[in-house]
Structure 1
């Protein structure tokens, strides 16, 4: 239910220049280098990423997207997507944590009334907030009941990324009862709010340090000041979801690039060659060169598409209230195309890299498995086959998928 007088106006305009991209790329690489020092040890410990969250905070990456006039980095989404990719080459968990933070925090620009956005931006900067979320749409167990001028929240939400270390959590819930029954609100609660319980139950194959446990709500008070806004079908507001999917694609691409880089280092260090080969070393063997060349070329192709769409996202966001349903839908399909190939290249490279690194690279101390475990885990977030169908339905019939937190 959208009307022209309620359309959200986003605070972002223009696109990133080379200086901006170079600056944030450098910051991200510095953080990634620090994370790389003990990435395997941290992954195996499977603890909440408290120190990692502080590293993101102290680096300034958390506020990259916050407009400069409110004390933020004044950056663009293209720069944010690149930081996600850079971190994913070395630590997929923290890459995901940052990617989700960006779009949780960006809900200020997508959902909040323009007159109230300045206060929210200042609060997140002054508080140094890392934003977690509790919006998993396939787990709709939250009940938001009217009470006085506010509400009470009850229920359980699984897969709440960042909740374990977040300062605040953004939540989507439908109002049950009262004059606004059925409306879906986006609101923000500090993790210390009375009745909010963080459940440390995230124990998965990969992405272990994403703070993605469950959150239980027992009569949690939700005040008017906590509410960002109503979740509607306004094209600019719903552009947030394709942005999240674009973040996923950059994450998967980063995993592929990281696996390639480590695989190259291992291959160059291998001595001798296969006994049937006439090559001096494995790295000079055309069989191994062919495999690595194929994976490198396909990864480069995905990178080119990602860079194109990363920049385009800023252009589409800049349309703000003028963004049409058709424009939003067509762009979502383009991102779905990237999501398909990025998923496949992330999984394939992290799997097939073993073909050039050999049996010795399966040692736990090498840690090459971390890439595959991370991308295999997160790529199950939503079935990539449905992204293929989304692409084909539009290509064949011009059909757009129904709006959701996946499309």
Structure 2
């Protein structure tokens, strides 16, 4: 048996294909595109949520809108947008359908991983193919579920095991897979792979049935002796600062996801409140919208959302500057942006859950009817905010503030 040898990538060329900042015109353009997709998703969002089916038609909307190729550089066939624009798109979609916002957020993370882990040649190869085919990327990388075995065989490998919470994989054209080599000269190496959706031996189990994020296609994937060649390998997953930016990005995307859900819940609540033509019998106001107690709640919630929005916008701009640093990015710079994003994760989680919960206080008992659908915001934010414990993000921020400590590099920190 010939054991494949994966040479450790030595990066000499510029690592990042991204540079500069999003212009006002760029941001306005992609906001308009995202708003158009959100408008298309809105009319039947509750019906689709209840059917709990894989969102193939929804992904096609993302494909046809151009959002799929937003961050792929123009020279490789993409739209040449910035990460700030991508994060705004995630936020806007999440106001209406956070499941599709999640799929888009993870798609961008997986495209980013190709750059973070791969050489310049690998980056160009995969992103050109992705742009040409307008691929949607899913993943099997859940770090607390390390159940995949990559065993050397001949001049390649066999991939075996089950990976849970594989967001977007069942509706994607390509799947980003993380697996550790078991056996041979490369034993213990942590590799990132790219596999096409229809590769023989890949089975989508369709077992995602959560309280919320029901259309995020986050079911399990079984890999049954899947043949993997050296051409499928993107690179090694390590701890070099630039290659670990996938974690700060996805945490930043979560912050925008939760912010979008909060904005959507507040707007839906506003519509319901304005449609109510009476008031509580003890109120001096003619309508609920004119009641000072109702106004107080909306004032409080909208102010908190505005604060989270300001922080998210600030960090979104900073992230483009960080990612443009490429192999010149230092550990200190990486830590600094990670702490800022952790702060956003804390406040966006708390505000998202609070708004989605308290909005019922000002919309009345009838808003609890299934047909109203106000519960979708709470179900979605409550489900996804369990992704990784927010208390540990608070500890991460506090330890850094007090002692200057930085958490170890992981797919969560």
In the TM superposition, what are the counterparts of 1:41-60 in structure 2 within 5 Å? 41-60=47-66
Q: Does 1:384 align with 2:390?
A: yes
Correspondence for 2:215: 209
What is the distance in 1 between the residues matched to 2:273 and 2:8? 56
Give distance in 2, aligned partners of 1:233 and 1:330: 16
Of 15, 25, 39 in structure 2, the residue corresponding to residue 33 of structure 1 is 39
Displacement after TM superposition at 1:115 (Å) = 2.3
SS at match of 1:75: coil
Deviations 1:316-349 (A, max 9, x none): 0011111111110121011000000000111000
CA distance in 2, matches of 1:5, 1:90: 41
Residue matched to 1:319: 325
Q: Per-residue CA shift, 1:152-194, capped at 9, x if unaligned?
A: 1011100000012111110001111111111111010012111
- Name the counterpart of 2:127: 121
Alpha-carbon shift at residue 296 of structure 1 (Å): 0.4
Q: Contact 2:8/2:236 (CA < 8 Å) preserved in 1? A: no
1:192 aligns with 2:185: no
Residue by residue over 1:34-54, the C-alpha shift from the partner in whole angstroms, topping out at 9 and shown as x without a partner, is 000100000001111011011
Question: Distance in 1 between the 2:123 and 2:326 partners?
Answer: 14
Contact 1:174 1:183 in 2 (8 A): yes
User: 2:3 matched to which residue of 1?
Assistant: none
Q: Match of 2:278, SS?
A: coil
The CA deviation string for residues 249-289 of structure 1, in whole angstroms up to 9 with x for no partner, is 00000000000001111111111211111112111111111
Q: Alignment partner of 1:218: what SS? A: strand
Greater shift, 252-261 or 6-15, is seen at 6-15
Give 1:326-365 correspondences, 5 Å limit.
Answer: 326-365=332-371
Q: Secondary structure at the match of 1:82?
A: helix
SS in 2 for 1:406: coil
Q: 1:343 to 1:397 in 2, by over 3 A?
A: same
Deviation at 1:116, TM superposition (A): 2.5
Residues 1:403 and 2:409 aligned together: yes
- Runs (5+) with no aligned partner, structure 1: none
1:8·1:112 contact (CA, 8 Å) conserved in 2?
no
Matched, 1:371 2:380: no
Q: 1:4 to 1:175 in 2, by over 3 A?
A: closer
Asked if 1:136 is matched to 2:136, the reply is no
**How far has the Cα of 1:69 moved from its partner?**
1.0
Aligned: 1:169 with 2:196: no
Which residue number corresponds to residue 238 of structure 2? Answer: 232
**What is the Cα deviation at residue 8 of structure 1?**
6.9
What stretches of structure 1 move > 2 A for 4+ residues in a row?
Answer: 1-8
- 2:272 aligned with 1:272: no
Q: 1:208 to 1:124 in 2, by over 3 A?
A: same
TM-score (norm 1): 0.98
Tell me the SS of whatever aligns to 2:221.
Answer: strand
Deviations along 1:187-211, one digit per CA (max 9) or x if unpaired, are 1001211111111000110001011
The aligned length equals 407
> Under a length normalisation based on structure 2, what TM-score does the superposition of the two structures give?
0.97
State whether residues 162 and 223 of structure 2, in contact with CA within 8 Å, keep that contact through their aligned partners in structure 1.
yes
The whole-number CA distance in structure 2 between the counterparts of 1:354 and 1:29 is 25
